[in-house]
């Protein structure tokens, strides 16, 4: 019985991918490098420290990965006023609330960023838990963030419906034992999301079809 919906954050609830691209490009240009599509795709769903390590290794940047991560983090924070919600965000949250289900966030992003990003798009309230990548041992595609989100709500993973936009995120949710809905954005729509149990084109479409999804898997308001 589904008692909660657990959302990814970047590229799903908030349209942060343009900021991610701009911020990494701004960091890389300092080292005479430029982001390519393959590397950008490889970072989707990863924690910032994991992304920084991947980028540092691929481009052979002499600076430590930790330094790259901090430079990129500060760049993103300076751009938060440009952050926009993904279409249908508030409709989706209302649909979850109207059905008496809990909701949580399970994101690879850090604890200094995630609450600020939700606040920037007017969606900071109402989450039973916000689990970030720096709160767990392993980031996505490992299941740690989703397991931690379920645990924070005192629910079993199979009582949670996960909503994701990237292959790394889908793998994380499925390995945690959650039913997973994939909603790709324009950057992940070409990637392999076939491991998800459901696929919709937007949060708006999922909100309109939420009853159908819940009917298949069962639903019960969390106590």
For the stretch 22-76, pLDDT in tens is 889 999 999 999 999 889 888 887 888 999 999 999 999 999 999 999 999 898 8
Q: What is the pLDDT of residue 222?
A: 59
Could you tell me if residue 21 is inside a domain? yes
**CATH at 44:** 1.10.150.240
Contacts 24+ apart (CB under 8 A), 152-156: 152/104, 152/128, 153/3, 153/4, 153/102, 153/104, 153/128, 153/129, 153/222, 155/3, 155/4, 155/102, 155/222
CB 178 within 8 A of CB 164: no
Could you tell me if residue 222 is inside a domain? no
Cα gap 217→158, rounded to integer Å: 10
Residues 114 and 57 in one domain: no
Residues 77 and 151 in one domain: no
Final residue in a domain of this structure, among 48, 65, 81: 81
Could you tell me if residue 119 is inside a domain? yes
Could you tell me if residue 181 is inside a domain? yes
Q: What is the pLDDT of residue 125?
A: 96
Q: What is the pLDDT of residue 133?
A: 95
Residues 89 and 148 in one domain: yes
Residue 119's nearest CA partner among 90, 87, 79, 80 is 80
Residues 101 and 195 in one domain: yes
Could you tell me if residue 72 is inside a domain? yes
Q: Report how far Cα 217 is from the mean position of its chain's Cα atoms.
A: 23
Could you tell me if residue 223 is inside a domain? no
Q: What is the pLDDT of residue 219?
A: 76
Residues 51 and 95 in one domain: no
Residues 95 and 203 in one domain: yes
pTM over 0.85: yes
Residues 44 and 67 in one domain: yes
Residues 103 and 184 in one domain: yes
pLDDT tens digits, the chain, 223 residues: what are they? 999 999 999 999 999 888 888 889 999 999 999 999 889 888 887 888 999 999 999 999 999 999 999 999 898 888 899 899 999 999 999 999 999 999 999 999 999 899 999 999 999 999 999 999 999 999 999 999 999 999 999 999 999 999 999 999 999 999 999 999 999 998 899 999 999 999 999 999 999 999 999 999 987 765 5
Final residue in a domain of this structure, among 81, 102, 126: 81
Residues 38 and 143 in one domain: no
As for how many domains the chain has, the answer is: 2
Residues 209 and 128 in one domain: yes
Residues 91 and 57 in one domain: no
Q: Give CA angle at 75 (190, 44), nearest 5°.
A: 20
Residues 144 and 50 in one domain: no
Final residue in a domain of this structure, among 53, 81, 109: 81
Domain extent, residue 109, equals: 4-15+83-217
């Amino acid at each position: 019985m589904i008692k909660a919906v657990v959302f990814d954050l970047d590229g799903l609830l908030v349209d942060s991918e343009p900021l991610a691209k701009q911020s990494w490009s701004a960091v890389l240009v300092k080292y005479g490098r430029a982001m390519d599509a393959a590397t950008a795709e490889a970072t989707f769903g990863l924690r910032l420290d994991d992304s920084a390590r991947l980028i540092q290794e691929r481009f052979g940047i002499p600076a430590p990965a930790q330094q790259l991560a901090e430079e990129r983090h500060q760049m993103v924070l300076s751009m938060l006023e440009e952050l926009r919600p993904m279409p249908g965000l508030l409709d989706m949250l209302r649909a979850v609330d109207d059905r008496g289900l809990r909701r949580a966030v399970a994101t690879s992003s850090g604890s200094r960023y995630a609450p600020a990003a939700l606040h920037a798009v007017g969606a900071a309230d109402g989450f039973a838990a916000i689990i970030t990548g720096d709160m767990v041992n392993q980031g996505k595609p490992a299941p740690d963030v989703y397991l931690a989100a379920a645990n924070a709500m005192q629910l079993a993973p199979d009582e949670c419906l996960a909503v994701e936009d990237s292959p790394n995120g889908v793998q994380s949710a499925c390995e945690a034992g959650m039913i997973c809905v994939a909603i790709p954005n324009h950057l992940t729509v070409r990637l392999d999301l076939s491991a998800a149990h459901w696929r919709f084109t937007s949060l708006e479409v999922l909100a309109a079809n939420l009853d159908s999804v819940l009917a298949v898997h069962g639903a019960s308001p969390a106590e």
